Amino acid sequence: MRALVVDHGPSGPVRFAEVDEPVPSRDQALVEIRHIGLNFGELNYPEGVTLADGAAPGIAGVTALRVLRTRSLLARDVLITGASGGVGHFAVKLAALAGARVTALVGSPDRAAGLRALGADHVLTGLSGTERRFDLVLDTVGGPLLAEAWNHLAEGGTVHAVGYSSGQDTTFPSGTLFGFGTPRTLATFGDMTPTSADLTDLLDLMAAGKLAAPVGHRGVWQDVGDAVQALFARKVHGKIVLDVV
């Protein structure tokens, strides 16, 4: 059969070649692909980024990138909640790269490991002890923490609600949504437009060594049940990547 194979040559990183018809074994799946999309980043950086690391950014990396691109971050105060998760890890590093003063918020001290190395200036387990006011908040937790983050928002600042890992409702006490000065805003995230350009930018940063894939668990696809349980139990810091073997 004729197939595309990776082969870096004068005409590019892939070429057509005759290969044997695939015959799946008992622990494999044969998937028919009718259409493919070519992305510059994926074709340009296969040697600079491992396939496992390249699988990690996905929606998590794109979400962090798009939210942080909504405003200039240079010398701005940025709060990332749920900073030990997949979106949080990417957001901390990307905000630091953009020149922001980054505060990372985690649920417990044991989930704070590595966040300062990513670029977090401050790592907190709660907001009650801080007097900081943030120009941008990327919130992945929701619930009461979202309302608390709103109270720490600077004039003209924005809270981007991108997740609700707490599973709790958010209640804003009467009067907290009113104030003087430049208006504050609350934005939701549901951007499902094509992500190829954003993935290219993320892979570019990874290939340059400026961004690392936050892979907190690496396993095989047969163990997907255990991986899902670990994810929902919040036992994994970062992303889960499963090998199809």
Sequence spans of domains, the chain: 2-55, 56-245
- All residues at 6 or more sequence positions from 3 whose CB lies less than 8 Å from its CB, including other chains: 16, 17, 18, 19
C-alpha to C-alpha distance for 52 and 116, rounded to whole angstroms: 24
Predicted TM-score (pTM) of the model is 0.76
What is the secondary structure of 92-114 as a DSSP string? HHHHHHTT-EEEEE-SSGGG-TT
Give the pLDDT score at 35. Answer: 54
Give the pLDDT score at 55. Answer: 66
CB 140, CB 85: distance < 8 Å = yes
Residues of the chain with pLDDT below 50 are 39-41
CATH ID of 56-245, from 3.40.50.720, 3.60.15.10, 3.90.650.10, 2.60.40.180: 3.40.50.720
Give the pLDDT score at 192. Answer: 65
- All residues at 6 or more sequence positions from 58 whose CB lies less than 8 Å from its CB, including other chains: 239
- All residues at 6 or more sequence positions from 43 whose CB lies less than 8 Å from its CB, including other chains: 12, 13, 14
Distance of CA 108 to the CA centre of its chain: 20
C-alpha to C-alpha distance for 81 and 62, rounded to whole angstroms: 17
Give the pLDDT score at 235. Answer: 78
Give the pLDDT score at 120. Answer: 97
Give the pLDDT score at 214. Answer: 79
